[in-house]
Amino acid sequence: MVPEQSRKNSDVILVSKQKWIIIGLIITIVNPFFAGVIYGIALWRDKNFGKEGKWLFILSLLWGSISTALLLRYYFV
């Protein structure tokens, strides 16, 4: 009976982890510089989300740089 309980707890943690990663990706895409970087750093410092936080931080910097470059090139011509 104990293994079933631990299996259920790990499933709940896994679903919760996926939820926070999806929220982070949405924040990174919508507002990459400020919210994406802050959220990425916050997840990076957490022991359970270290690798995912690092990827969100890098993605937010890359997406922010690309969107700024495109904005400067095509909007301010």
Average pLDDT over residues 2-13: 54
**For the chain, what percent of residues have pLDDT higher than 90?**
17
Query: What is the structure's pLDDT at 10?
Result: 55
Give the residue extent of every domain in the chain.
Answer: 2-74
Alpha-carbon gap, residue 21 to 49, rounded angstroms: 9
pTM: 0.68
Residue-wise pLDDT tens digits, 45-75:
988 888 888 999 999 999 999 988 998 899 8
Taking Cα atoms as reference points, which of 13, 21, 73 lies closest to residue 42? 21
